[in-house]
Amino acid sequence: MTAARIGADRAWQAAALFAAAAAALPLLALAWQAAQGSAGLWSHIAVHVLPPAARNTLLLLSGVGVLTVALGTGSAWLVTAYDFPGRRAMAWALLLPLAVPTYIVAYAYLDLLHPLGPLQSALRAVLGIDDPRGLRLPDVRSLTGCILLLGFVLYPYVYLSTRAMFLTQAASLLEAARTLGVSRAALFHRVALPLARPAIAVGVVLALLETLNDIGASEFLGVQTLTVAVYTTWITRSDLPGAAQIALSMLAIVVALIAIERRGRRRQRYAAQQRPRPMQPLRLRGVPAAAALALAAVPVVIGFAVPTVYLLSQTLTRLRSVGGVSGQLLASLWNTLLVAALATALTLAAGLAVAWALRLAQARRRERLEAASLRVASMGYAVPGTVLAIGLLTPLAWFDSGMSLLARGFGAPPQMWLMGTLAALVIAYALRFLAIAAGSADAGLARIPLSLDQAARSLGRTSAGMLRSIHLPLLRPSLAAAALLVFVDAMKELPATLMLRPISFETLATWLYADAARGAYEEGAVAALLIVLAGLLPVILLARTGLRFGRAGEMR
């Protein structure tokens, strides 16, 4: 290997290490920030802030975990083990709640279930009740309401992983149980469910990480979680050390959730020796078929159809009444598209650099350092947006101070170079979603045989030349899917945007948050519907992939 090739490979390695260091720096800075707080401050937080916030957070995580497991596993088994009219449509429709961010569901149901809202007004009209206080439904602004709404939105994480496991389980095991006279219910509890536990663990941990990242729904519904406490401590009280100390306690929960997921996956391959082929679903007719369809439709209706139809009706009403949307909302839409596009480009570039450095190291059979870089660079997706934002504040301030000191030597006045700028927001998005790009690029590269690299090397290709002419064309599907997921996630991101956005910079998410915070539901429905429509794109991609996978399994 020539010196030029060694230098090029080391440049890719340096890029991967830089991405990993950038991902780890906010967490290290978070610990440093927390240490700056006084003992009295920590005592106040430990006595008055942490106990209620931690209790609400743990109760919320427990409730959402139970509900997502029940809904996700039950619906996955229903559309896998039974055949009924509408089964194919429900198999992909059960993914639709993923398109609706949690804060938008809370926003829609708050207006829909308000005492003066359309639902209670219609019920009072039907029952002949004139007094709004004569009929009061249970208040959705509660911990129970938050658990229900988040559970009906986040269950697809469990459904997706569990159904994939049901589709690929060794059919011979299930058939052997059936030949022994085991009923369908016993087959589920005694055979299918134990086999699917690793997949359930993966799905429920993803759902709980999303719950921990939520700030809009929890605040709208009056639940003081750790995430809300971090935000209010920093924004309302300007107490950065206190916010960092609360954020560290959130990190402890994240580590515990990841440990649970790793433990659940530890025996994921214990049935891998059997040839995977799906079980034959039991055909249902008449009342059982109708009941199965209704059961499968309930999560879709509550988690997607009701809020989406309501937002659509409110949007049409708004557009008819004023003849369009305001210029401020259009500016927010442009800001959202701009920051999402910039973040997607930076995230894809960083993720590709990390994955390509690992690929080059694998060719040398010395990939420990690059593999560690990939794992470190992928940490951001597990870290809640509020925690990442708090951790970024100090590195951004350090950078601005250093640049101002350097500029002062040239006679330039000090200024903020990153803090409070669009660049800070793009960096936060890139660190948050780097796992998506790096994981997709790594998975795409894994499907390309190393023999292609060796052949290209023998013909004198450099690493950059190989990537440009050979691997990038083969990676287009993986990178396109990653770009779509990153773009849509950046459009929906609320916690990091609230804490790092420039002054007077609004995105669709922050516009909606501001509308709900002041109790106004005017143009917020338009912003919410735009976010939901964007969120449908990756869900359609997931549904198409899942349908192809399921049909391929049935043909086997």
CATH of the domain at 389: 1.10.3720.10
Q: What is the pLDDT of residue 270?
A: 45
DSSP string, 92-155: HHTTGGGGS-HHHHHHHHHHHTSTTSHHHHHHHHHHT--SGGG--PPPSSSHHHHHHHHHHHHH
Maximum Cα–Cα distance for the chain, whole Å? 87
Segment 182-192 mean pLDDT: 71
DSSP 301: I
User: Do 78 and 199 belong together in one domain?
Assistant: yes
Q: What is the pLDDT of residue 404?
A: 84
User: Do 354 and 313 belong together in one domain?
Assistant: no
**Lowest-confidence segment of 216-220, 263-267, 388-392 by average pLDDT:** 263-267
* Tokens linked to 215: 């700030």
> Count of CB atoms within 10 A of residue 277's CB?
18
Residue 52 banded pLDDT, cuts 50, 70, 90: very high
In a domain, 482, yes or no: no
Tell which residue, 219, 255, 217, 230, has the closest CA to residue 54.
Answer: 230
User: Do 286 and 357 belong together in one domain?
Assistant: no
**pTM (2 decimals)?**
0.85
What spatial distance separates the first Cα and last Cα of the chain, rounded to whole Å? 46
CA distance linking residue 269 with residue 294, whole number of Å: 34
Domain end call among 455, 476, 497: 476
Q: What is the pLDDT of residue 180?
A: 63
Phi, psi (5° rounding) for residue 514? Answer: -65, -40
Q: What is the pLDDT of residue 556?
A: 35
User: Do 215 and 232 belong together in one domain?
Assistant: yes
Give me the number of domains the chain comprises: 2
* Tokens linked to 287: 């009342």
pLDDT at 234 over 50: yes
Task: Print the SS3 string covering 336-369.
Answer: HHHHHHHHHHHHHHHHHHHHHHHHHHHHCCCCHH
* Tokens linked to 159: 């459904």
In our burial notation (b when 16+ CB lie closer than 10 A, e otherwise), range 372-406 reads: ebbebbbbbbbbbbbbbbbbbbbbbeeebeebeee
In a domain, 149, yes or no: yes
Residue 178 banded pLDDT, cuts 50, 70, 90: low
pLDDT (tens digit, 9 = 90+) per residue, 249-298? 888 888 888 777 677 666 555 444 444 555 677 788 889 999 999 999 99
CA distance linking residue 352 with residue 374, whole number of Å: 10
> Count of CB atoms within 10 A of residue 74's CB?
17
User: Do 249 and 371 belong together in one domain?
Assistant: no
User: Among residues of the chain, what percentage have pLDDT more than 70?
Assistant: 83
In a domain, 24, yes or no: yes
CA distance linking residue 370 with residue 445, whole number of Å: 14
> Count of CB atoms within 10 A of residue 286's CB?
8
Domain end call among 460, 476, 492: 476
Q: How many CA atoms lie less than 13 Å away from 329 in the CB half-sphere?
A: 20
**Lowest-confidence segment of 81-85, 265-269, 509-513 by average pLDDT:** 265-269
Question: Does residue 272 sit in helix, strand or coil?
Answer: coil
In a domain, 503, yes or no: no
pLDDT at 181 over 70: no
User: Do 49 and 192 belong together in one domain?
Assistant: yes
In a domain, 488, yes or no: no
Q: How far is CA 263 from the centre of its chain?
A: 21
Segment 369-374 mean pLDDT: 67
User: Do 378 and 396 belong together in one domain?
Assistant: yes
**Lowest-confidence segment of 41-55, 83-97, 109-123, 185-199 by average pLDDT:** 185-199
| Mean pLDDT across the chain | 82
User: Do 27 and 71 belong together in one domain?
Assistant: no
pLDDT (tens digit, 9 = 90+) per residue, 529-552? 889 988 888 888 777 765 444 444
Expressed as residue numbers, the domain containing 442 is 1-33+337-476
User: Do 368 and 293 belong together in one domain?
Assistant: no
Q: What is the pLDDT of residue 300?
A: 95
